[in-house]
Structure 1
Amino acid sequence: MTTERVRWGILGAGNIARTFVGDLVAQGLEVAAVASRDARRAAEFAAELSIPTSYGSYEALVADPGVDVIYIATPQAFHAEQALLAIDGGKPVLVEKSFTNDAPEAERVVAAARAKGVFAMEAMWTRFLPTADAIGDVLERGSIGELVSVSSSHFQNLDVAPTSRHGNPELGGGVMADLGVYGVSFASRYLGEPTSMLVDGEASELGVDLSASVLLRHGAGRTSATLTRMDAPGSNRAAVVGSDGWIDIDSVFYASTSFTVYDGGRGQRELLRFDKPQHVGRGMQFQALEVERCLSAGELESPRMPLDESIAIMRTLDQVRARIAAARSSSVSR
């Protein structure tokens, strides 16, 4: 790095970028520039959030010597193209989840980053929250025994019209890319890549997955379940089950939240209550702090969100979506 202080560039000027920048600034991190294909939108975004520089092209952001690392905050359909642009320019990248549109794209991004010797990471921000750290501590202590199962539900009432980001296949819309990825990544973190799956779900006439019920086997008798849909609200809770107890994770399970650890004995007594942590912002700054730590240490990927795992997660999403699409095609042809 050319300076001790890492200077962030923001590629994309939408809502997720706004949240990310707000959290970084609240944490005292530096945001140096923002880019959008619409120069006016970039300028308005920069003025709103007091970012010194704005650009009307992504190429200009990548070429800026005053930017040390780039956060890609566009829809999934464009992640690979833009990550490759940044990597080719020698810029480290934090790529919003889902990492790419599909697994082959993820493999190309990872191969490019490794060939170029450039840092890359998927922005699965929930992994870096204090809640996630506390759950990890419970598991490391063996408080619930050997892990056997993970479950989660993620429901939101979103606009799924064909013209919306969530309902438009050209923008990478779909419940697995936007919501289900949290549950799949959650299971992957604790149980690894699945060995088999059972899937049910619904897809729109355009082939966009709208809901999914996903049961995964992870080997050694361990399983995970992910329930998700984007046309209805829900409790959005999760559980991690072990041979000697379990962890109930309160709503919203993928954000900064509380949880309770229970003994699995006959009394099923409460062992630990972890209250919702207090910190500035939503919590997206913690992934940025991990990126900055990796850059300072000269690491090309984070051990907390390995690139090979991001590829494996994309493989799982691809398989789930393919099965939902096949089921819809079969039902339509009857």
Structure 2
Amino acid sequence: MPLTLPSPRTLTDTEVPALRWGVIGTGIADPFVGAIHAHTRQRAVAVTARDAAKTEAFARRHGIGTVHTSVSALVEDPEVDVVYVATPHPLHHEQALEAIAAGKHVLVEKPIAMSAQQAREITDAGRAAGVLVQEAMWTRYLPQSDVLRQVLADGLLGDVRLVRADFGFVFGFDPAHRLWNPELGGGALLDAGVYPIAFASSVLGPPDAVTAAGSLAPTGVDERADLLLPSAGANALVSTSLVARLPITASVVGSEARLDVHSPFFGPTGLTLTTGSATSEESLTWRDTTFDKLNEGLSHQAVHLAAYVAEGRVESPVHDHAEVVSIMATIDEARRQLGAAGVPGAGGSGM
């Protein structure tokens, strides 16, 4: 039989309500707001950030009518339906809780917090308040991720034996920069490692154990980490780094076939399904050609969030609260094993 891949089950913007978004932060929020304005009916209507001049410029660039001078003013704005927390991750916990307390749905940039304990507090608060809490793990909402879910559900790979994923880049050491500063949530695991760890989790679920090897920067943050994550008879091998140019690919290897996610695996790229032996392989490739630019794929997570709000959900069905906390627990434990600075204390890892 010829190789086939299932078609992605896409969700169109016309199927979901047009929500009014309040934005906290102007860094990663810039491509996100650009994407939702270009490709959806979701609209950013208010923004706040620390630098007043940059915030005003951001508002002009994206046609945002309201600039608030504080987080409190933004989350209390009756014209805002959902708050996008797009600040550095040490601020996520406090700002997400404040938005939830104001009765707002929240999309919180990854990692959702600095520890599993903080993640649990955010998700528990959202559930208690009856509002949606979603981590901005945009990969989960891409068409290729739906293809992967169908491939796994249909058993096309056979018994899954191995998952591999990596995300690493070279960033010059600067102790004052957030990537290298423990007080600013620095380190490879929190910034980049959350992607491959989340990918492994999406296939295998929470690991039965965590074994981490790597090295620390002079500031005490993890500069690189390689993790072994066994689960349900399979292993995941994930790597992350601030000092090595990793290929940024992901693979799921089964007893019958292998599925490779193209680089960078966390964005809208493509998939290749391969079967056969080393001397007689057969492969089939699917590519996502929807957008011209990678970051335009950020719009998918906003459309799904709007759908979940309309359905009255408090968590994402493809990235639920328990998994969000579990991924943070894996990061906590890996950082603890490496001896990284700023690791949460007892009760923080959740392992």
TM-score bracket for the superposition, by shorter chain length: over 0.9
For CA contacts below 8 A with separation 6 or more, give which structure has more relative contact order: 2
Structure 1 length-normalised TM: 0.92
Provide the secondary structure at the position in 1 that maps to 2:21: strand
Q: Give the counterpart of 2:71 among 55, 58, 63.
A: 58
Contact 2:114–2:185 (Cα < 8 Å) also in 1: yes
Tell me how far apart the structure 2 counterparts of residues 5 and 152 of structure 1 sit (CA, whole Å): 35
Contact 1:39–1:57 (Cα < 8 Å) also in 2: no
Shift of 1:271: 4.2
Provide the secondary structure at the position in 2 that maps to 1:217: strand
Q: Which residue of 2 aligns with 1:331?
A: none
Shift of 1:231: 2.1
Q: Which residue of 2 aligns with 1:25?
A: 37
Tell me how far apart the structure 2 counterparts of residues 302 and 326 of structure 1 sit (CA, whole Å): 31
Q: Give the counterpart of 2:91 among 78, 89, 105.
A: 78
Provide the secondary structure at the position in 1 that maps to 2:237: strand
Tell me how far apart the structure 2 counterparts of residues 87 and 159 of structure 1 sit (CA, whole Å): 37
Contact 1:159–1:166 (Cα < 8 Å) also in 2: no
Shift of 1:272: 2.1
Provide the secondary structure at the position in 2 that maps to 1:255: coil
Q: Which residue of 2 aligns with 1:234?
A: 246
Tell me how far apart the structure 2 counterparts of residues 32 and 67 of structure 1 sit (CA, whole Å): 7
Distance 1:20 1:264, change over 3 A: same
Distance 1:155 1:146, change over 3 A: same
Contact 2:222–2:340 (Cα < 8 Å) also in 1: no
Contact 1:203–1:324 (Cα < 8 Å) also in 2: yes
Shift of 1:87: 0.4
Shift of 1:108: 1.0
When structure 1 is superposed on structure 2, of 35-44 and 316-325 the one drifting more is 35-44
AA at the equivalent of 2:243: D
Tell me how far apart the structure 2 counterparts of residues 132 and 160 of structure 1 sit (CA, whole Å): 34
Q: Give the counterpart of 1:137 among 146, 150, 155.
A: 150
Tell me how far apart the structure 2 counterparts of residues 56 and 168 of structure 1 sit (CA, whole Å): 27
Shift of 1:58: 0.6
Distance 1:66 1:268, change over 3 A: farther
Shift of 1:268: 4.6
**1:58-137 equivalences in 2 (<5 Å):** 58-137=71-150
* Aligned-pair Cα RMSD in Å: 1.8
Shift of 1:138: 2.2
AA at the equivalent of 1:24: I
What CA deviation, in whole Å up to 9, does each residue of 1:99-136 have, x standing for no partner?
10011111111111111111101110011111212222
What CA deviation, in whole Å up to 9, does each residue of 1:242-295 have, x standing for no partner?
111111222111111122111144655324211233236521111111100001
Q: Which residue of 1 aligns with 2:3?
A: none
Contact 1:146–1:242 (Cα < 8 Å) also in 2: yes
Contact 1:27–1:280 (Cα < 8 Å) also in 2: no
Contact 2:221–2:340 (Cα < 8 Å) also in 1: no
Shift of 1:158: 2.1
Distance 1:103 1:268, change over 3 A: farther
Structure 2 length-normalised TM: 0.88
Q: Give the counterpart of 2:165 among 133, 144, 152.
A: 152
Q: Which residue of 1 aligns with 2:329?
A: 315
Q: Give the counterpart of 2:319 among 283, 305, 315.
A: 305
Tell me how far apart the structure 1 counterparts of residues 185 and 340 of structure 2 sit (CA, whole Å): 18
AA at the equivalent of 1:311: V
Contact 2:157–2:256 (Cα < 8 Å) also in 1: yes
How many residue pairs get matched? 323
Distance 1:51 1:149, change over 3 A: same
What CA deviation, in whole Å up to 9, does each residue of 1:175-194 have, x standing for no partner?
00111111110000110111
Provide the secondary structure at the position in 2 that maps to 1:284: helix
**1:166-315 equivalences in 2 (<5 Å):** 166-219=179-232, 221-265=233-277, 268-279=280-291, 281=293, 282=295, 283-315=297-329
Distance 1:160 1:95, change over 3 A: farther
Provide the secondary structure at the position in 2 that maps to 1:178: helix
